[in-house]
Structure 1
Amino acid sequence: MKVTLNIVPDTQEESVEFYVHELTPAIKAYAFDLQSCGQCADDHRMATVQVAQGSVGGTEHKPAAASSQKNAHSACSEVPLQPDYFYGHKDGAIIVLREEHIVLVRMEHGSVVLYTTKGTCVSYKRLMDFESNAFSSLVRISKSALVNLNHIARIEPGFSGSLSVRLDNSMVEWISRRCVASFKKRLGM
């Protein structure tokens, strides 16, 4: 793979472009790491990757002139870049997790606790960060909890129209009344 680095003046925005044959998880991870290291904590833009439509063939792709770059970008589509992994912390160790490992995300005593298929750990992300598009299978069930739709074993009715969910790990969580409508909508009920 060819790598080129150019030093730009402080007045010019730093940028990275990838020219690849396919978007692999490794390339997504590199792009996500690069994009997140240059972001401020208060900047919540989602990283994107330009994916060219069609293949380049056997020829080397060279940067186009400024006038033809506009046309090149019109033949591209923006794909949201989602991290394939994230980290949890337990007893001083860092645990690498994927979205499918999450069973329940709950706020407990000011910390975000993750109940996963690998056990329980703490995340330094905020609860609202788990509601982003990067975590498409998580749905809010109360002010302090989100569940993974793929780990729901049963939905049980309660009193006065409330619902509870029994998860694969045998935990039971109640769905608050204000979240019932959006929960049912996500399930297609």
Structure 2
Amino acid sequence: MAMESGKREPQCDLLDLLQRVVIITYHAGDRKFERIFKEKSLAETMFMVRTKLQPPSNSTITLKQRRSGDPDMFIDLDDEDDFDAFCVHVRTVSLKSVDVKVDISQPPATNGAASSTGAVNASQASEMSLSVTKNKRKATNDQPPINPDETAEPELTMKKRKTDRHRN
């Protein structure tokens, strides 16, 4: 049967794609939003969530997958291996929607008073985790000053790049 000009047959690839689309519903306290699942890594997912929610820069975000069938069962998404298992799960379940819980935690106020960004209402407190990680680097200077009246400045060293080693 010849096709008439200007008409197309249905694309099987499009139908296949629509059957594989999974919607992720993110629950962050009293906020909820949905996204088509297309991220390729946990870092990419975390970036998307941080961009959407715009929490304070010093906050920590954790993600937990809510398993269907047991509303109280959550699977932590801590690393890329967890994310890989999550990807397989969302692609193989018959459901087309998956829930992910978003916890946002902030470091406690240092002066003892709650700041406006650190205050949490009771409904958000149940959704937030209290664990906070800090990774700060401190400059160290192991060499004493030459002149006791002067302060020592850190010695700068140049790192060699791989390309520098192979040049003739």
| TM-score normalised by L of structure 1 | 0.28
Question: More relative contact order in 1 or in 2 (CA 8 Å, sep 6+)?
Answer: 2
Bigger proportion of residues as strand: 1
Tell me the TM-score normalized by structure 2: 0.31
Structure with larger Rg: 2
